[in-house]
Amino acid sequence: QVQLVESGGGVVQPGRSLTLSCAASGFIFSNYGMQWVRQAPGKGLEWVAIIWFDGSDKYYADSVKGRCTISRDSSENTLHLEMNNLRAEDTAVYYCARDNHGGTLDLWGQGTLVTVSA
Amino acid sequence: DIQMTQSPSTLSASVGDRVTITCRASQSISGSLAWYQQKPGRAPTLLIYETSTLETEVPSRFDGSGFGTEFTLTISSLQPDDFATYYCQQYTNSSWTFGQGTKVEIK
């Protein structure tokens, strides 16, 4: 069925790196832009990054710019988020989402929890 | 960056009530606004995009309106399944921002 499944979350020490993955299925992955959105415990949604359908353009929130890299592998129908120099404030559930209708997110994964703690 | 401000932050209402949530943008976003619903422990789901277009299978009791900097989400008759947190989101000029959320609670 049409779905997104994130993986790669876990507990990581401050300053370390982590790469999240999102496996897409049930739709033509290469036709859609993809985004990462995060939600700190008990807080609201925060946009993190977007990659164009063909990977030609990427944008990042100021809070992660320079520390995160979004990428995609259309041969594997997979989205990635490489996060470096992690901080306590990066602790959140990270969702991948499909970008449709020119910027809205019509399909979300279940999320993967990243905890940054010593 | 464009800031999105929702009001109220929390709303207490009863089944059958008409409910309105407001979302204000710090600068004009034309009609590039979406609304999402999120229930505890679940991923958000898209309700409305382009200010007023209902996503597939979203009940018609949900209605979106507005343009420029001020937008509203109205639920015409609140149902038990509607108690949740609602977020607006703008998507313009390579910028994507969510409002802080409005929690709709049972009165």
Give residue A13's pLDDT band: very low, low, confident or very high (50, 70, 90). very high
pLDDT value of residue B96: 92
Give residue A63's pLDDT band: very low, low, confident or very high (50, 70, 90). very high
pLDDT value of residue B1: 86
Taking residues A9-15, report their average pLDDT: 98
- Please name the member of A45, A59, A62 whose beta carbon is closest to the beta carbon of B44: A45
Give the phi and the psi of residue A86 in degrees, each rounded to 5. -65, 145
Contact A74, A29 (CB under 8 A): yes
Give the N- to C-terminal CA distance of chain B in Å, as an integer: 36
The shortest C-alpha distance from B46 to chain A (Å) reads 6
Average pLDDT, chain A: 96
Least Cα distance to A79 among A42, A36, A48, A28 occurs for: A36
The string of pLDDT tens digits covering residues B53-64 is 999 999 999 999
The string of pLDDT tens digits covering residues A14-26 is 999 999 999 999 9
Token representation of residue B96: 């994507």
Partner B, chain A 1-60, Cβ-Cβ below 8 Å: 35, 37, 44-47, 50, 59
Taking residues B56-73, report their average pLDDT: 97
pLDDT value of residue B94: 81
The shortest C-alpha distance from A109 to chain B (Å) reads 7
- Please name the member of B43, B46, B101 whose beta carbon is closest to the beta carbon of A44: B101
Q: What contacts B19, CB < 8 A, 6 or more positions away?
A: B11, B13, B74, B75, B78, B82, B104
How far apart CA B93 and CA A39 sit, in angstroms, is: 23
Q: What residue of B is the nearest CA neighbor of A107?
A: B45
Distance of alpha carbon A47 from its chain centroid, rounded? 9
Token representation of residue A21: 């993955």
pLDDT value of residue A102: 78
* For residue A118, pLDDT beyond 80: yes
Q: What residue of B is the nearest CA neighbor of A44?
A: B100
Q: What share of chain A has pLDDT > 90, as a percent?
A: 97
Find where tokens 């993986």 sit. Answer: A7
- CB atoms < 10 A from the CB of B85, how many? 20
pLDDT value of residue B31: 94
Taking residues B71-81, report their average pLDDT: 97
pLDDT value of residue A103: 86
* For residue A101, pLDDT beyond 80: no
The shortest C-alpha distance from B68 to chain A (Å) reads 17
